[in-house]
Chains A and B, each alone.
Chain A
Amino acid sequence: MDLAVIGINHKTAPVEMREKLSFPANETIEANRLLKENSFLKESLILSTCNRMEIYAVCDRNKDYVSGIKSFLSRYHNMNLSEYEDRMYVRRDREAVEHLFSVASGLDSMVVGEMEISGQVKKAYQDARESLTTGKALNRLFEKALFTAKKVRTKTLIGRGAVSVGSVAVRLAEKILGKLDDKTALIIGTGAIGEKLLLYLRKNGIKSILVTNRTLEKAQGLAARFAATAVAFEGFLERLADVDIVIVSTGAPHSVIRKDDIVSLMPRRKQRPLFIIDLAVPRNVDEEINRIDNAYLYNIDDLEKIVIGNIEFRVGELENCVGIVKASADNFMNWLAIEKIKNEN
């Protein structure tokens, strides 16, 4: 009984190739069946996400199952083997086990420690069970993988700290202002990063969004996309009295918000905290504003530094995670060895 994984991921293949080899969610169950019918695999499971496409397989010893899987892929996706073969990796036995445990724990992800992958692994496992293509070995392997992922998440700090500018900004906003569901954000300018940030704020339940821009039409365009309200650029400072988060993302070469503006604003705001995010380069907001009580100013560099710090922190935690993965792999290999002996007798 051999155990193997064969696949491609974001490290070995560009997105165009991963797209071609991926299995859409609604086809996975059928694809699992087809694969098993057309190969000598005893057990098989397809894991297909946007960053990876992997096939986990259990097969009798000495059978050339790898070329069987490859020819299935070629036929299914209508591709020549030579197009993708050199991008593919094959890992066997213990290496395959460790690989899956790392994948499920988010250690092999583009953003190390992201946890979405655990859910995707779980879904792939459920789909394969539904297609009746897994057996004793893969069932146990995937249950252990999900268990290991949970252990990594709870016993280490790998998932701690936001690792994108948007999520860092949201986390800061929540620490400063509390829950966002009764808060208002104003975005000045229609830059691309600002738009991304709005998306994060929407996802995190911000109550309302105001958009302003020197050209009102542009503001209206952005406002339409986010179910926001466009307001005139002239006199946006007046609006700040009722706003909790200000995102500045204009192309202006000078300050758009000055210290005096905020100093005179705070009493009108009844000293309620104000979070200003300056995404513009060159900076559009006077740095001195951060010194005013209850006003908090972060620029794009500040946010990026936090992102880098959090990523480094995650990488520092990797060693602990790998320890957990290896210990789990040991356990699984012991179980597998016993199973093999049982089968031979």
Chain B
Amino acid sequence: MPAFSAIHHITICLSYIAFFAASLAAALYLIQDNAIKNKMAGMLFSRLPGLSFLDRLNYRSIGIGFPILTISILSGFIWAKSIYGVYWQGYNYRHLYSLVLWLIYALILHVRLTARLRGRKVAILSITAFFMMVLTLFGTCR
């Protein structure tokens, strides 16, 4: 089923782009937060965007990336079924990692939506998730 293969590949790229934007916003957030907390209102402070903007950008990018990732995983399952005859191969690292990644982003969205965490900790989580994603990509591509 080539259609699902195409959907899978396109959506995975799109979700990676969204998550990359999220982690970039998160990294800038951490730099700006650090500058403000430590009272370093110099060049960096004035050039970087404000905290609320960066926090929102991070959150929204994940909000866009997550459903796309979900579509990607689902289409991956269907595609796998057409090749291997099963939806899910338990021993396939790529599948396992993708699921873990999906859970992490779900967690980030959950804590942010329920307002348990905001700002710095969400930023750290989303950078961690992005690194894991990159590792998944390199670690499982053969």
Contact = CB atoms under 8 A, between A and B. Distances in A.
A290 B41 contact: no
A175 interface: yes
Given A298-B39, A302-B39, A293 B120 contact: yes
Contact of A160 (B37, B46, B117, B118): B46
Contacts of A172: 36, 41
- Looking at A272, A273, A290, the one whose CB has the most chain B CB atoms below 10 A away is A273
Contact of B52 (A176, A270, A271, A305): A176
B115 interface: yes
B46 A271 contact: no
Nearest to B122: A271
Given A296-B37, A302-B39, A175 B119 contact: no
Nearest to B47: A160
B72 interface: no
B32 interface: yes
B51 interface: yes
B41 A306 contact: yes
B93 interface: no
A60 interface: no
A205 interface: no
B88 interface: no
B121 A176 contact: no
Nearest to A306: B41
Interface in A254-291: 267, 270-273, 290
A309 B46 contact: no
B131 interface: no
A306 B39 CA distance: 8
A271 B118 CA distance: 6
A68 interface: no
- Looking at B39, B51, B53, the one whose CB has the most chain A CB atoms below 10 A away is B39
A191 interface: no
Nearest to A296: B36
A172 B45 CA distance: 9
A174 B39 CA distance: 15
Contacts of A302: 39
A234 to B, nearest CB: 28
A171 B117 CA distance: 25
Nearest to B120: A293
Interface string A184-217: 0000000000000000000000000000000000
Given A160-B46, A176-B51, A178-B53, A272 B41 contact: no
B116 interface: yes
B95 to A, nearest CB: 34
Contacts of B85: none
A294 B51 CA distance: 10
A177 interface: yes
A178 B32 CA distance: 13
B33 to A, nearest CB: 9
B50 interface: yes
B73 to A, nearest CB: 30
